[in-house]
């Protein structure tokens, strides 16, 4: 039987406690090969087919640092306004876990490649919060465990476990914030907005595909509470591997209400890792959280230190693209958007999608209307991010072009979009398969108009008498007869012509 967890009302949490956050985001880099060997860095594939003695940790194998991964780490650090170390090195983080074939993770401990940075984050109402970055360091990813049997997919209750080492050794950058304080009731929103802004930044740098659904971007959310009169941070929990923006917000909010209820009853918070449950938005206990001493860090003896020259760092700085915040300001000016309209775009994650649709030939207003209204509703109903919808900006631009060419009505265009989302092919293919093209043949339209006029002679007489507004009834009849595939404007013109009004 599942234990009932007491929660405190959120308003009461905020009245009695101050939340403190710490966010650790792991980013898989999109290099061609893994961090310390030449195996392919690709998502998926048959289990244990992208492995070698090095990433399997076999005796006698030696690592070699991936230069492109180091370059990516420096570019991330620069984009986050970090200092770049003149000298740093790797360390061994020792712990036994089945999907760590070496029984240690090659990481960076007290000498990260980037440190002391910040990222300015815009909240839903336009308020800007500066999140300070403690460090961004290089490491390698683990393999994956598949627990077979049982109800939860976790090891508890499983009959046996399977291990896939394809992901072991994939280049990771871990970005760790400094404690995020003084956010009050907006703490969950700040967490979501930070991960969203970081994802946008990494996508702009083109260092990762930032697919949260595939684990190439995942967040560990540390949460603790301080009583209003306290001077020291409370004990934190770490909710591991949260893999969507919505879930980051939900996990932080839940932990705040759970911890507050415990503290209010005089209990204490256990420092532990926790698992987020997507189904109901709760967290469950994982394992007691280790300290740095438990990992027995020591310098990696098989790798030389990394010492990027200042000249190389400055060369990499020149490769940085236009930052998302700067791009938004430019787009707002070019598209003549109000602050409210820009916030609408940001809130649904549509800025890049609209921009790409414009680049494919649509106008900003057309693209914005589709993404912010029609497609945002689709994403909400499916409980996914807007960018995860199965339609590309180029495909939407094609739909818009068909409307502008008079080949689709707005109603038919929505049917075409539904077909694309359902995987029926490109917009043109959906139009062909579903027979959705606008009826533009005047002879077919005239026949439908004449039939509708004959069926409603009283309406025809009103139109003939000068009451042109009455034509709406005939237009409706023709649209019904043509299954919505007639051009309503042309139908109205033909009605007026046929009655001689």
- Which domains are delineated in the chain? 10-313 (no CATH), 322-434 (no CATH), 442-500 (1.10.10)
Mean pLDDT of 77-101: 93
pLDDT interval class at 25 (50, 70, 90): very high
Res 455: pLDDT: 73
Res 385: pLDDT: 83
pLDDT interval class at 500 (50, 70, 90): low
Question: For 134-186, how does the pLDDT look when each residue is reduced to its tens digit (9 = 90+)?
Answer: 999 999 999 988 888 876 667 777 788 899 999 999 999 999 999 999 999 99
What is the average pLDDT value for the chain, to the nearest integer? 88
Which helix or strand (DSSP H or E) is residue 428 part of? helix 427-434
Question: For 173-225, how does the pLDDT look when each residue is reduced to its tens digit (9 = 90+)?
Answer: 999 999 999 999 999 999 999 999 999 999 999 999 998 888 899 999 999 99
pLDDT interval class at 403 (50, 70, 90): confident
Mean pLDDT of 435-443: 60
Least confident window among 116-120, 226-230, 289-293: 289-293
pLDDT interval class at 65 (50, 70, 90): very high
Residue 13 has pLDDT above 60, yes or no: yes
Residue 7 has pLDDT above 70, yes or no: yes
Nearest to 430 by CA among 411, 412, 444, 405: 412
Residue 1 has pLDDT above 50, yes or no: no
- Cβ-based neighbours of 29, under 8 Å, separated by 6 or more: 41, 68, 69, 72, 73, 170, 171, 172, 173, 207, 208
Greater model confidence, 441 or 468: 468
CB 99 within 8 A of CB 168: yes
Q: How many Å apart are CA 118 and CA 180, to the nearest integer? A: 11
Res 288: pLDDT: 78
Mean pLDDT of 455-477: 68
Res 445: pLDDT: 63
| Structure tokens belonging to residue 467 | 């009451």
- Cβ-based neighbours of 445, under 8 Å, separated by 6 or more: 439, 478, 482, 486, 487, 490, 491, 494
DSSP result, 457-497: HHHHHHHHTT-GGGHHHHHHHHHHHTTT-B-HHHHHHHHHH
Strand partners, 221: 23, 239
pLDDT interval class at 416 (50, 70, 90): confident
Q: How many Å apart are CA 189 and CA 21, to the nearest integer? A: 11
Res 481: pLDDT: 62
Res 197: pLDDT: 94
| 3-state DSSP helix/strand/coil % of the chain, to nearest 5 | 40, 20, 40
Residue 420 has pLDDT above 60, yes or no: yes
Mean pLDDT of 349-355: 89
Residue 97 has pLDDT above 60, yes or no: yes
Which ranges of 43-186 does DSSP label H, i.e. alpha helix?
67-79
Greater model confidence, 68 or 414: 68
Nearest to 347 by CA among 125, 199, 127: 125
Residue 2 has pLDDT above 60, yes or no: no
**Cβ neighbours, 10 Å, residue 391:** 20
Residue 31 has pLDDT above 90, yes or no: yes
Least confident window among 123-132, 169-178, 213-222, 489-498: 489-498
Question: For 298-337, how does the pLDDT look when each residue is reduced to its tens digit (9 = 90+)?
Answer: 999 999 999 999 999 999 999 999 998 898 889 989 999 9
């Amino acid at each position: 039987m599942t234990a009932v967890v007491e929660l405190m009302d959120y308003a009461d949490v905020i009245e009695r406690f101050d939340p403190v956050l710490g966010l650790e985001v792991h980013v898989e880099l999109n290099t061609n090969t893994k961090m310390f060997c030449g195996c392919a860095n690709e998502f998926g594939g048959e289990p244990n087919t992208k492995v070698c003695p090095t990433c399997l940790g076999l005796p006698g194998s030696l690592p070699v640092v991936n230069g492109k991964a180091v370059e990516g780490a420096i570019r991330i650090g620069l984009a986050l306004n970090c200092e770049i170390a003149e000298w740093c090195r790797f360390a061994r983080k020792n712990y036994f876990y089945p999907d760590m074939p070496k029984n240690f993770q090659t990481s960076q401990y007290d000498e990260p490649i980037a440190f002391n940075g910040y990222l300015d984050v815009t909240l839903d109402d336009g308020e800007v919060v500066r999140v300070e970055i403690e460090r961004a360091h290089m490491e390698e990813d683990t393999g994956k465990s598949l627990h077979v049997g049982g109800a939860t997919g976790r090891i508890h209750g499983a009959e046996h476990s399977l291990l896939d080492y394809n992901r072991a050794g994939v280049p990771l950058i871990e970005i760790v914030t400094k404690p995020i304080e003084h956010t009050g009731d907006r703490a969950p929103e700040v967490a979501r907005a930070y991960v969203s802004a970081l994802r946008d930044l990494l996508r702009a740098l083109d260092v990762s595909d930032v697919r949260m659904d595939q684990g190439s971007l995942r967040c560990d959310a540390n949460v603790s509470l301080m009583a209003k009169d306290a001077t020291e941070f409370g004990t934190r929990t770490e909710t591991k591997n949260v893999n969507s923006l919505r879930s980051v917000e939900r996990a932080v909010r839940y932990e705040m209400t759970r911890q507050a209820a415990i503290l209010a009853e005089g209990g204490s918070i256990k420092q532990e890792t926790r698992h987020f449950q997507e189904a109901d938005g709760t967290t469950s206990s994982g394992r007691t959280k280790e300290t740095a001493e438990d990992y027995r860090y020591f310098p990696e003896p098989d790798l030389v230190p990394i010492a990027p020259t200042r000249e190389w760092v400055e060369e990499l700085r020149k490769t940085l693209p236009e930052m998302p915040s700067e791009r938004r300001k430019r787009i707002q000016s070019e598209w003549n958007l109000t602050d409210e309209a820009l916030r609408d775009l940001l809130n649904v994650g549509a800025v890049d999608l609209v921009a790409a649709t414009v680049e494919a030939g649509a106008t900003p207003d057309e693209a914005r209307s589709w993404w912010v209204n029609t497609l945002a509703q689709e994403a909400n109903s499916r409980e996914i991010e807007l960018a995860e919808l199965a339609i590309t900006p180029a495909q939407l631009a094609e739909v818009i072009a068909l409307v502008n060419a008079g080949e689709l009505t707005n109603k038919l265009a929505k049917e075409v979009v539904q077909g694309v989302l359902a995987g029926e092919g490109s917009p043109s293919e959906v139009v062909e398969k579903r027979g959705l093209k606008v009826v533009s043949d005047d002879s077919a339209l005239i026949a439908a108009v004449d039939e509708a006029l004959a069926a409603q002679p009283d309406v025809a007489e009103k139109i003939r008498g000068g009451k042109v507004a009455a034509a709406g009834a005939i237009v409706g009849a023709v649209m019904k007869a043509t299954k919505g595939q007639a051009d309503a404007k042309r139908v109205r013109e033909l009605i007026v012509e046929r009655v001689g009004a």
